[in-house]
Structure 1
């Protein structure tokens, strides 16, 4: 139940009656009429901009429209008052029955409360992580993994068919470097002294892979030239690293539906097919690019290349797809990969990239626009850097990884649930400070603890009620006398619960799962505030064995908070805490 949608429909119905009465002219569009929470909760429960957006097309003063609309709305039992504010905004106060109806809907729906059909079954491909298969995932990948996974769950919750996809970058030179690095560990496993030169991967994580290669082939590759072993060691090493990456993701609760290999694009005609599709649209040509803006590099010289006319689809400059030596650019297989996604029939594509890929956004959007004739939107979400701290100092790199802090390092320190929640406490394109001490702190300043504590508190009340012999089954709570919830602190909690369905749809439309984490903190704050009010006002305490009906009503309210927390944490990939230890 989305009470904001319900009241908006009421507003639209009353606007239609104003048209029938001749107050508003026929044909005035209502598309931009919104009903949302007021900026200041003291102004009311909801606010509508109807008079403001209709004044110009209707040729009337906003306040005149607002006053006429207010008279219509207050005739409905659901609206107790409608006050005109400022130049013509309309602030509404709703009857308690509205909030009671929301609470009953939440209790009946359980974890599905707020689940939306907004997506109408649209097929969405969410590609995330997609790290080079050259080693364990680092903390930057962790943020992208959490964000992408939560976004996929959010889209599922809002009625989309979601495919979680990982693009294996196994077609470039970095995989040859991996193979050479594993070969050194292989020689080391045979007792040889080796030196890791610049450009190789010295991390200890390859020791086991080198040993595994020895176990498989024995001494067959010892002291053999590269052309003998490179191809097979490359495949063996890539498979080993992908097993490592899958295991890393599993510790974070991330499981992909599809792993797509870049290598599968080469020598199969797929790159050529994608570029032929663009060529047929007149978007491929031979040309010479202008030098880069600013200072011209000393080694720059004009070269004729095969170019994609990406400027026709919103890019700043056209982009090369084939070098003057005939080799593909990095962009060419990426075009082919996205052409494959479009060909698989997805209605929308989402790519989650690290912040260092910001320069890639326009060209990739241009490619998808051209390949799909503008029918398949591509949204690219950039995840900013994560700075790690422990004991007030920057957290040092992992010896195992050699150069960076791994996903495993983070999860081993604080656990998957804390890692995931904290990674979503900032918008994806904002930098994030991750302090190992603070994220485990039991205080209001730690959103992970504060939300989990709210859930645990309610579960504690439920346990104590059962111990006192009070019936708090789901059926009983669903039938509780919610008319008893009249205190402003109780109504405040109910209002926050009522915001959940609207919040979910907004987050789903904007592809912003961090909104869920923010909301859960606010909801927990309302619950804690009500709980604390009970210290001074006994009537607000959840348990009163002298008033069973009142207790059941108050616990029903508390139970709706855990319903929403459970659903919200489910989207974030976090397990709700039954108790705090």
Structure 2
């Protein structure tokens, strides 16, 4: 149960009973009422802005309205105290009995606690990574991979029907360059002297095995074929090999896509999909023949004045109309985007999310406009931009990879620091802010390393149960028995832990709505901090320790609290894509 949503409904029922009217005599708009944790925990457990947002539209004094709400809330059986603060905020404190019952609910739901129906089954397509299949994944792809994957997990947990998708950019000039680069490695495998890799080709040695495989399969046969025929075959084999490598690299990061969509599919059969999509846009009145003004900052005499087929994107929110078909009859890259979004719409997605690097900022408005035009406004498109990640080792920038030629591979980073530190730390800062990733700091075993601190909390939870089994002589503990005596939990720190656990469903919903998975990482760190803090109090005060051999009922109640913390840590870490360890080594 989301206690904030629950009390929001309680507040709305009180407001409805007051029968407030707006200035036009209509019913008051309750949509802006919110119930949240107060900024300062000393002010209470919950706070509502109801009086603040309703006062002006209904012609009420906010403090006077807040007092009316407070008086009604004092009659609630779960509320112990209500205070009006500032210009009209209402702060609530809940009875211990409420928190005891809520802990029982958490234990009953286990790792499903926090699962929501917010999405109501809406079909969402999350496309992320989508790197050109021209080499291994590099660290620049890492952040988008983690953000996209964690967001997809989060949305699914919040009740959306989510598809994880990878768009294979396997058409265009970069693929021609890839084929020529592999041809060189093929000749090298045959024993030909190729010298230095010419500028413009891919220099990394990851293409060496592809060339060797071609040499083993075909011998010198490909050199005897017409060049375009040989390059077409090499292109297919190389893309397949690169995608195998990319899938393996992503799997190391625990990233698994359900759909791999090939751009070449859009260009097949004389680009039938692209032509169909442009025809549809034309019938809707979004396409015309015309000329574009010179780009900003470019001299007019350098601009080639020509008529093209254009998308009337300025009428659906873009800054400038976009070319679809060039004056020579060839399609622009953007034309393939038209067909791709049409395909997504036909697959039934009501929401589509693109997770892109910050260098794609210029694509945002055109893609939003395109989605609106293609779907007649029925499909919402969101672009999330991920800023760069800078790698350091002990404060010093990390040098380039030998294997790739000019970048650091994702595989190298995972093999050095592990999957979990990468996934957690890529989310421990908002994705639109730059991120410094220091190999030494993310493997450090201290409170200053967030992923260690959170996983250590998980391991400590399991260690409590091992200690309890040993000292009490019991086997596995039944959840129902752990929840029977929650009323014995009366220490302020114990109630504080339950309060923090109660925030989890709200975090899930708010992070899903805002499409900000970093909120989950921040919450897990805060929960771990609360748990470690309570553990330390038990170290100083034996009466607060989780296991008290001479009081099994109290021990079981405290084990119930530990189990609930463990469940939420396990759930949250799974959404992030990391493990909840049972012990630290």
Is the pair's TM-score, using the shorter chain for normalization, greater than 0.5?
yes
Other structure's SS at 2:355 match: strand
Mapped pair 1:353 → 2:363: no
Other structure's SS at 1:437 match: helix
- Picking from 512, 515, 527, the partner of 1:511 is 515
The residue that corresponds to 2:242 in the other structure is 241
Please show how residues 342-421 of structure 1 align to structure 2 within 5 Å. Answer: 342-421=345-424
Deviation of 1:536 (Å): 2.3
Partner Cα separation in structure 2 for residue 54 and residue 451 of structure 1? 41
Please show how residues 59-70 of structure 1 align to structure 2 within 5 Å. Answer: 59-70=59-70
The residue that corresponds to 1:192 in the other structure is 192
The residue that corresponds to 1:316 in the other structure is 319
Deviation of 1:7 (Å): 1.1
Partner Cα separation in structure 2 for residue 422 and residue 391 of structure 1? 16
Worse-superposed segment, 441-450 or 529-538:
529-538
Contact 1:342 1:376 in 2 (8 A): yes
The residue that corresponds to 2:251 in the other structure is 250
Contact 2:21 2:28 in 1 (8 A): no
Deviation of 1:214 (Å): 0.9
Partner Cα separation in structure 1 for residue 473 and residue 366 of structure 2? 63
Partner Cα separation in structure 2 for residue 248 and residue 578 of structure 1? 26
The residue that corresponds to 1:553 in the other structure is 557
Partner Cα separation in structure 2 for residue 157 and residue 561 of structure 1? 18
Partner Cα separation in structure 2 for residue 379 and residue 358 of structure 1? 12
Partner Cα separation in structure 2 for residue 203 and residue 280 of structure 1? 47
Deviation of 1:178 (Å): 0.5
Partner Cα separation in structure 2 for residue 447 and residue 297 of structure 1? 54
Deviation of 1:25 (Å): 7.5
Deviation of 1:480 (Å): 3.3
Scaled by the length of structure 2, the TM-score of the pair is 0.97
Number of positions where the alignment pairs a residue of Structure 1 with one of Structure 2 = 580
The residue that corresponds to 2:160 in the other structure is 160
Other structure's SS at 1:222 match: helix
Partner Cα separation in structure 2 for residue 20 and residue 277 of structure 1? 49
Partner Cα separation in structure 2 for residue 372 and residue 21 of structure 1? 38
Contact 1:544 1:551 in 2 (8 A): yes
Please show how residues 118-157 of structure 1 align to structure 2 within 5 Å. Answer: 118-157=118-157
Deviation of 1:299 (Å): 3.6
Mapped pair 1:220 → 2:224: no
Contact 1:85 1:91 in 2 (8 A): yes
Contact 2:394 2:441 in 1 (8 A): no
Other structure's SS at 1:400 match: coil
Q: String of CA shifts for 1:321-359, please: whole Å, max 9, x gaps.
A: 111221111101011111100111111101111111110
Partner Cα separation in structure 2 for residue 135 and residue 404 of structure 1? 11
Mapped pair 1:500 → 2:504: yes
- Picking from 467, 488, 494, the partner of 1:490 is 494
Please show how residues 106-117 of structure 1 align to structure 2 within 5 Å. Answer: 106-117=106-117
Gaps in structure 2 of 5+ consecutive residues: none
The residue that corresponds to 1:533 in the other structure is 537
Contact 2:482 2:559 in 1 (8 A): no
The residue that corresponds to 1:469 in the other structure is 472
Mapped pair 1:270 → 2:270: no
Deviation of 1:311 (Å): 0.6
Partner Cα separation in structure 2 for residue 60 and residue 479 of structure 1? 45
- Residues 227/294 of structure 1: CA separation in 2 closer, same or farther (3 Å cut): closer
Gaps in structure 1 of 5+ consecutive residues: none
Deviation of 1:390 (Å): 1.1
Please show how residues 291-302 of structure 1 align to structure 2 within 5 Å. Answer: 291-296=294-299, 299-302=302-305
Deviation of 1:260 (Å): 0.7
The residue that corresponds to 1:441 in the other structure is 444
Contact 1:477 1:555 in 2 (8 A): no
Contact 2:107 2:483 in 1 (8 A): no
Q: String of CA shifts for 1:13-57, please: whole Å, max 9, x gaps.
A: 2112222999x9861121111100111111111100010111112
Contact 1:155 1:508 in 2 (8 A): yes
The residue that corresponds to 2:177 in the other structure is 177
Other structure's SS at 2:183 match: helix
Other structure's SS at 2:19 match: helix
Other structure's SS at 2:167 match: strand
Contact 2:164 2:258 in 1 (8 A): yes
